[in-house]
């Protein structure tokens, strides 16, 4: 599938030489959100080549940038299409665009529009004035949950690599035959890992503002602990296996919060309020702790099989 739009100048409705010029990225969703936000309006849309990446990410990488914008103004012949000398750039494009440099290079003044395309009509109707809230990036529950599927898929890809050795080792747990062990002990082990992923990739984003701690690794521990309690309850009260021993209990008490904290930490990239300096500071202690927890948990889990 192709999610790119060809870069260049597009007409929305029937724009003329006085119509506003809106700048966007050549990611289909960025372009479509912009078009959808302006029903019945006439405008020019100048699409920059950002390799099919959305405005904010591309601005962070510099592909939605000063030179690209000035170059596209030139290449599209915008100066011959409109009489005015003004382009409206999404505010989240500002990490890549230097407004005064664009004016120097192209002669066009950059006006920063609102963060959300949906606020554009109100912004333009009030004479390019941003109303309350139009300049800040939110991170609502809906916005956080929309990121869950892609995070889950990444985690499950890793799970598929981990699962074969886990199931194979489960066969040797000594309670019954090899295959019945895989279906009992092995299935519970798979459930433990799935619950760790659910804690880090689903519960953490869903409950993010209410989880104690500032570092995401800390936030991810709480759903992990809830996961441990739920898992051990299920493990010890359902199925035909004898209750988990000390090693197996300790293993899951380390693995589930450790994995959940790691996945939560990786949600920093999806969030809208983390800084690189902060992420690096968090990672300095969090990554060694996560590796230690999961490695020690794995050793305990293997020990529980053979002891």
Q: Which of 8, 67, 85, 98 binds other proteins (CB under 8 A)?
A: 98
Instruction: Using CB under 8 A, pick the residue from 60, 131, 174, 245 that binds other proteins.
Output: 60
Size, binding site for other proteins by CB under 8 A? 62
216 binds other proteins (CB under 8 A): yes
What's the rounded Cα separation, in Å, for the pair 67 and 240?
67
Residue 16 lies near other proteins (rule: CB under 8 A): no
Task: Verify binding: residue 156, other proteins, rule CB under 8 A.
Answer: no
* Tokens matching residue 84: 């005015």
Site string for other proteins, 218-257 (x = CB under 8 A): ----------------------------------------
Residue with tokens 């305990």: 300
Of 14-22, 69-77, 191-199, 213-221, which part binds other proteins (CB under 8 A)? 213-221
The yes or no reply on residue 187 touching other proteins (CB under 8 A) is no
- Sequence-distant (≥ 6) Cβ neighbours of residue 292 within 8 angstroms: none
Cross-strand pairs, 24: 47
Q: Which stretch binds other proteins (CB under 8 A): 128-136, 171-179, 242-250, 291-299?
A: 128-136
How buried is 153 (Cβ within 10 angstroms: 0-12 exposed, 13-18 middle, 19+ buried)?
exposed
Is residue 53 a contact residue for other proteins (CB under 8 A)?
Answer: yes
Residue environment code for 54-81, b if the CB has 16+ CB neighbours within 10 A, otherwise e = bbbbbbeeebbbbebbbbbbeebebeeb
Is residue 45 within 8 Å of residue 10, measured between CB atoms? Answer: yes
- Minimum CB separation of residue 217 from other proteins in Å reads 9
Among 234, 283, 296, 299, binds other proteins (CB under 8 A): 283
Does 61 bind other proteins (CB under 8 A)? Our answer is yes
Answer for the pair 159, 194: CB distance below 8 angstroms, yes or no: yes
**Cβ–Cβ contacts within 10 Å for residue 268, how many?**
18
Binding window for other proteins (CB under 8 A); candidates: 166-174, 207-215, 228-236, 251-259:
207-215
**Residue closer to other proteins (CB basis): 9 or 25:** 25
At its nearest, how many Å lie between other proteins and the CB of residue 296?
21
The answer to whether 29 touches 5, Cβ cutoff 8 Å, is no
Q: Where are the alpha helices (DSSP H) in 27-177?
A: 28-36, 55-61, 66-76, 78-81, 99-106, 120-125, 141-145, 148-170
Which residue lies nearer to other proteins by CB, 153 or 168? 153
Give the binding range for other proteins (CB under 8 A) out of 7-15, 52-60, 192-200, 223-231: 52-60
* Contact by Cβ (8 Å): 120, 37: yes
Binding footprint of other proteins on the chain (CB under 8 A): 1, 3, 27, 29, 51-54, 56-61, 66, 91-92, 94-100, 112, 115, 130, 135-137, 139, 143, 146-147, 149-150, 153-154, 208-209, 214-216, 265-266, 268-283, 287
């Amino acid at each position: 599938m192709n999610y790119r739009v060809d870069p260049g100048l597009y007409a929305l409705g029937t724009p003329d030489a006085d119509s506003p010029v809106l700048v966007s990225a050549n990611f289909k969703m960025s372009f479509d959100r912009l078009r959808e936000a302006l029903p019945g309006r006439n405008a020019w849309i100048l699409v920059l080549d950002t390799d099919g990446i959305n405005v904010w990410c591309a601005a962070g990488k510099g592909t939605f940038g000063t030179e690209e914008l000035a170059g596209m103004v030139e290449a599209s012949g915008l100066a011959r299409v409109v009489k005015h000398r003004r382009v409206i750039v999404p505010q989240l494009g500002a990490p890549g665009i230097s407004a005064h440099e664009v004016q120097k290079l192209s002669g066009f003044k950059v006006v920063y529009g609102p963060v959300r395309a949906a606020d554009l009509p109100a912004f333009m109707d009030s004479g390019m004035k941003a109303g309350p809230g139009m300049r800040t990036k939110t991170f609502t529950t809906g916005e956080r949950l929309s990121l869950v599927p892609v995070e889950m898929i990444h985690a499950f890809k890793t799970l598929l690599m981990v699962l074969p050795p886990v199931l194979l080792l489960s066969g040797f747990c000594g309670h019954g035959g090899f295959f019945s062990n895989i279906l009992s002990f092995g299935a519970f082990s798979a459930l433990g890992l799935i619950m760790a992923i659910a804690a880090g990739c689903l519960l953490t984003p869903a409950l993010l503002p209410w989880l104690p701690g500032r570092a995401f690794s800390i936030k991810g521990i709480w759903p992990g602990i809830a996961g441990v309690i739920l898992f051990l309850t299920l493990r010890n009260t359902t199925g035909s296996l004898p209750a988990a021993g000390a090693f197996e209990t300790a293993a899951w008490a380390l693995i589930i919060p450790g994995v959940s904290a790691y996945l939560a930490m990786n949600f920093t990239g999806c969030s809208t309020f983390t800084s690189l300096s902060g992420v690096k500071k968090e990672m300095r202690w969090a990554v060694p702790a996560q590796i230690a927890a999961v490695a020690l948990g794995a050793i305990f889990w293997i020990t529980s099989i053979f002891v």
